[in-house]
Amino acid sequence: MRVGEPSQQRGFSLIEALIALVILSVGLIGVAAMQLKALHSATTGYQHSIANLAAVDAQERLWAQLASDDVDGCASIDVETDWKAHWFGGNGLNPLRVADESATGIRRSGCEFTIVIALASREGGAESNALNHTLTYTLGLPDLAGGGR
């Protein structure tokens, strides 16, 4: 190569740098997507933990009311109103904010109670009404009235 002649590789290192930058950008976008997925999974796990806690609370309320003196048996147990007021209170501090209150409740069949907690797909947005998890807990209480199950 003589002095003064244009090099055949002029601008080649700039193209290499731009290609490396594109590859780095794609990698960083992948890392950001993984972080968002991890955050979503952590939030879903948190909401499931809160739903489990709410179900255990409902179970304890059922046992407590059965043990009270003013209850004759399973037929006279009613804790759903107080339980929903506690977990779905309108004070803005609702721990089950992604749960669908109308689909969540306590159903009774004799002395067998089923606690249903319906969680929506995400908080806010267009998909907030789509249910993607319905957690169901079933428990049986002893029939103190002697009427059988």
Query: What digits encode the pLDDT tens for the residues 79-92?
Result: 999 999 888 877 66
Asked if residue 54 belongs to a domain, the reply is yes
Is the pLDDT confidence value at 67 over 70? Answer: yes
Phi, psi of 107 (to 5 degrees): -110, 145
Are the C-beta atoms of residues 55 and 83 closer than 8 Å to each other?
no
Taking residue 66's Cβ as centre, other Cβ atoms within 10 Å add up to 18
Asked if residue 100 belongs to a domain, the reply is yes
Q: Please tell me the least confidently modeled range out of 19-28, 45-54, 76-85, 123-132.
A: 123-132
Asked if residue 3 belongs to a domain, the reply is no
Q: Position 29: which residue type?
A: I
Asked if residue 46 belongs to a domain, the reply is yes
Asked if residue 1 belongs to a domain, the reply is no
> Considering its fold, how many domains does the chain have in total?
1
Confidence of residue 146 (pLDDT cuts 50, 70, 90): low
Phi, psi of 33 (to 5 degrees): -65, -40
Residue listed under structure tokens 């109103």: 81
Q: Position 147: which residue type?
A: G
Taking residue 119's Cβ as centre, other Cβ atoms within 10 Å add up to 21
Distance of alpha carbon 120 from alpha carbon 130, whole angstroms: 6
Task: Give the pLDDT confidence score for residue 55 in this predicted structure.
Answer: 95
Task: Give the pLDDT confidence score for residue 125 in this predicted structure.
Answer: 44
Task: Give the pLDDT confidence score for residue 80 in this predicted structure.
Answer: 92
Asked if residue 124 belongs to a domain, the reply is yes
Is the pLDDT confidence value at 132 over 90? Answer: no
- 38 vs 1, more confident: 38
Asked if residue 147 belongs to a domain, the reply is no
Which tokens is 137 given?
A: 């807990």
| Average of per-residue pLDDT values in the chain | 84
Distance of alpha carbon 73 from alpha carbon 77, whole angstroms: 7
* Element spanning 54, H or E: helix 12-67
Q: Please tell me the least confidently modeled range out of 23-27, 34-38, 51-55, 83-87.
A: 83-87
Domain containing residue 125 = 12-140
Asked if residue 28 belongs to a domain, the reply is yes
- 31 vs 143, more confident: 31
